[in-house]
Amino acid sequence: MAEAMKRGGHIATPRHPTANAALASFLYGKVAVLRLGLQAALDPSNATKRYFLLGDGSAATFEKWRPGEPNNAAGNEGCVDLSADGHWNDVECISCAVFDCLGIKCEIPTSRCSG
């Protein structure tokens, strides 16, 4: 997230189905996924339960997970990517990411991507 903000952009955070669909349509034919402004946090009373929080620290009230997600498959999937089909997947925060920088494609340099 800091990378996009450093470049003068913002992190998209769809808060309802219409915004999610609009973001997904932006991706179609351009990029595979878009990093969203959501991050996982552990429930202090149940370390196996995770929540996804918005940038202001409030809990997300809208979610559009791909079936089987969020699965925390890598054990540290604390960020969220949106696919062109509109579904979300929790991913490692160091994975390659494309951000919506006010309509300009901003991508973390590949040297910083884990693959």
Q: Would you tell me which residues interact with Ca ion (CB under 5 A)? A: 71, 73, 77, 89-90
Residue whose CB is nearest to Ca ion in the complex, by number? 90
| Distance of alpha carbon 41 from the chain centroid | 14
Q: Toward Ca ion, which CB reaches closer, 19 or 74?
A: 74
Q: Toward Ca ion, which CB reaches closer, 10 or 87?
A: 87
Name which of 34, 71, 35 is nearest 50 in CA terms: 71
Name which of 46, 7, 47, 44 is nearest 35 in CA terms: 7
Q: Toward Ca ion, which CB reaches closer, 90 or 100?
A: 90
Residue 102 DSSP SS3: coil
Closest approach of Cβ 35 to Ca ion, in Å? 13
Amino acid at 97: A
Q: Toward Ca ion, which CB reaches closer, 10 or 95?
A: 95
d(CA 81, CA 64): 11
Closest approach of Cβ 73 to Ca ion, in Å? 5
Closest approach of Cβ 72 to Ca ion, in Å? 7
